[in-house]
Structure 1
């Protein structure tokens, strides 16, 4: 009488199981995609090459800007000299521009973030007549470019008498439809309804609930909106250009543009260092933004990931 071995021992599944128990677990092989690597390097060069050129150009004189290779240092770098001349040009007007830009950007960013948080929290946690229609209007406002509203805003502010004042730049920057949308999505999951009900049972008012409970839970999204508004206001050019005519109220963007216009009208010979000052001022203007992103990076990343995963 002959005996046959069990067929289960000969199956591939059993062999894999036996091999997995007796041997080491194999690590998945790493895969590399050449086209994706090339695309990543191209995107990296696209974003970093202008910054690298700006850093190199800030160490050159105006003559070296036109006569030397753009992506490398000249024979006589003078970064510290350019920085000193930038801050002392026209009786230190660059310092006024820097302070103005910081004032406009910080006030606008904080105000826009708080307004977006309050409105987004309201849309997410309260139901009222016309709430969907109002939120759809907000989504539609995201599609409207800010430059399209600049001229009507100027006419409105001219009637109100606040043209050529800091409020002409700050007030339009407080409205951030994208920030409101982002905060609404974030508040939907970040603020539990059970926590709000418990606070209401304890007798807390809606304002106290928002400022003491909800606002803390909305901090990552709040920082994200703050950073977006800070960058947008810091780099804003067209709105201050049409709202302000006093050089002492200019932000950095409009001020450096006026220097560039002087350099182009006077030529590189008559304004020997003006082009170098424009480039150096541009480098100085991005340093506060880099510092802000580095300090608030972890909040910004967690805020961007909000709403990406449904629970």
Structure 2
């Protein structure tokens, strides 16, 4: 079953890699996974064409996506950690209601919120700006709920009390103690947020009209819409899709070592 799942997951990526080494004529005239002669040279040529097309706009799209996804995931993970830890360990009026509202937000599909978010951004005068994509990416009910559960399970209450007895304030406790204990949960939430924002298409489509502000997803779809008139765009869209996947693969490979369960296991005895 694992082998079948692996093939299922790798099948599109392998096709993408093979297709990126072909010219438009070779794309439909060769076997789907077959490599043509001088595949490396053809891939290098496709990459040069990709980054030089329309004045190098693809590099701008890639940079925009890094800002949207990287900034949104980092800040969103920090906000989720703060909110989740507060809901797990602090008692305040309305705590139960806030938790219920967050759970309700988890059940709402993101597509349903696209139009309300557009109306909010329009009222704030932020449409067709990077803030219209970045700000909605900072808050995720799923991320807050996950961090609440992880904080409740992995942060020993006795450790918090010991830190308070040592004279640390709440902000210092979170920065020096809690943040390290939440490392596996932070990594998980960060990757979830990164993938969600990186692959987001509907929100940028609604709030952006300036091509220079497009993320990679929206930019490649715009190119694909013109591929009927210019066959070379099909190859560039495929090559661009391959390039757009590489940062996500790199992020998973670099951060997977932080997925360790209970860093504090055995460190404190309640």
Cα distance, 1:125–1:47 mapped onto 2, change above 3 Å: same
Report the count of equivalent residues: 262
Q: Give the match's secondary structure for 1:291.
A: helix
Higher relative contact order, chain-length normalized (CA < 8 Å, sep 6+): 2
Deviations 1:1-44 (A, max 9, x none): xxxxxxxxxxxxxxxxxxxxxxxxxxxxxxxxxxxxxx333322
Task: Report the 3-state secondary structure (helix = DSSP H, G, I; strand = E; otherwise coil) of the residue aligned with 1:296.
Answer: helix
User: Is 1:281 aligned to residue 245 of structure 2?
Assistant: no
Matches within 5 A, 1:26-37: none
The CA distance in 2 between the partners of 1:44 and 1:238, in whole Å, is 29
Kindly state the Cα deviation for residue 182 of structure 1 after the two structures are TM-superposed.
1.2
Render the CA deviation track for 1:55-109: whole Å, top value 9, x for unaligned: 0000011111122211212345311110110011111001100110001111100
Aligned pair 1:221/2:185, yes or no? yes
Cα deviations across residues 229-281 of structure 1 (Å, max 9, x unaligned)?
Answer: 011111111111111111110110001011100103x1xxxx24211100000
Aligned pair partner of 1:62 in 8, 21, 24: 24
Q: Could you say what secondary structure the match of 1:263 adopts?
A: coil
Is the contact between residue 60 and residue 76 of structure 1 (CA under 8 Å) also seen in structure 2?
no
Match of 2:207 among 228, 240, 243: 243
1:20-59 to structure 2, matched below 5 A, reads 39-59=1-21
Q: Which residue in the other structure is 1:84 paired with?
A: 48
Deviation at 1:300, TM superposition (A): 3.5
Deviation (angstroms), 1:294: 0.4
Q: Quick check: 1:261 aligned with 2:225?
A: yes
Shift of 1:223: 1.4
Alignment RMSD = 1.7
Extract unaligned runs of 5+ from structure 2. none
Residue deviations 1:157-189, cap 9 Å, x none?
Answer: 101100011110011111111111111111112
Match of residue 211 from structure 1: 175
Are positions 1:145 and 2:109 aligned together?
Answer: yes
Cα distance in 2 for partners of 1:233, 1:301 equals: 24
Match of 1:106 among 56, 65, 70: 70
**Distance in 1 (alpha carbons) for counterparts of 2:33 and 2:58:** 26
**What TM-score does the superposition give when structure 2 sets the normalisation length?**
0.93
Alignment match, 1:7: none
1:73 to 26, 35, 56: 35
Any stretches of 5+ residues in structure 1 without a counterpart? 1-38
Structure with bigger gyration radius: 1
**Equivalent residue, structure 1, for 2:149:** 185
Q: TM-score, normalised by structure 1?
A: 0.81
